[in-house]
Amino acid sequence: MENFQSLVTVMPWTFIFTICNLFILAAALKHFLFKPVQKILDQRAAEVESTYQQAEEARQSAQTMQSEYEERLKGAYEEAGNIVRTANERASARTEEMLSEARAEVSAMKAKAQREIENDRRKAAGELKNDISALALDLAGKVVEKEIDAKTHGELIRDFIDRVGDVS
């Protein structure tokens, strides 16, 4: 029992040394284990925070680039629309110009044809007058040669009308 009692009894010096060993061990663990581990954990937290900050900056940069891209794309669409509109306007103007030129040519050709028709009509009228004059002189010459009775006079008029009909 004495052996048992020695294990259960409280010995003050052993208790003090055990408590001191505990404090020394805690101080050593704190100095050699907890502070380096805490330092590593702080470094890791700083790295994670830095990574998050870089990711946020990259996201903001990507959003800025996207908005610039969209703005440029919008500008490109507007420029393409302006180019198409300008090309359509030029094509319309050229078409209108070509139509005006064609109308002017047609008008000139029509006026020329009218002048040619008028000249041909005058020429034909002049020739017809010359033919009628020649026929009238020929008829007058025949009338002078012959004595005209009513029957001969009718034949001469019919002959004259037939010749005028042939000429026209």
Domain ranges for the chain: 13-167
Judged against a pLDDT cut of 80, whether residue 20 lies above it is answered with yes
Tell me which H or E stretch contains 71.
helix 35-145
Task: Answer yes or no: is pLDDT of 167 > 90.
Answer: no
pLDDT, residue 94, reads: 94
Q: What is the pTM of this model?
A: 0.40
pLDDT digits 0-9 by tens, 87-99: 999 999 999 999 9
In this structure, is the dihedral angle defined by the CA atoms of residues 63, 66, 68 and 74, taken in order, positive or negative?
A: negative
Is residue 168 over pLDDT 70?
A: no
DSSP class of residue 33 equals: I
Amino acid 100: pLDDT:
93
Is the pLDDT confidence value at 1 over 90? no
Q: If you average pLDDT over residues 45-70, what whole number do you get?
A: 94
Average pLDDT over residues 132-140: 73
Between 127 and 160, the higher pLDDT residue: 127
Buried b (16+ CB within 10 A) or exposed e, 10-41: eeeeeeeeeeeeeeeeeeeeeeeeeeeeeeee
Return the pLDDT at 145.
62
Q: What pLDDT was estimated at residue 13?
A: 86
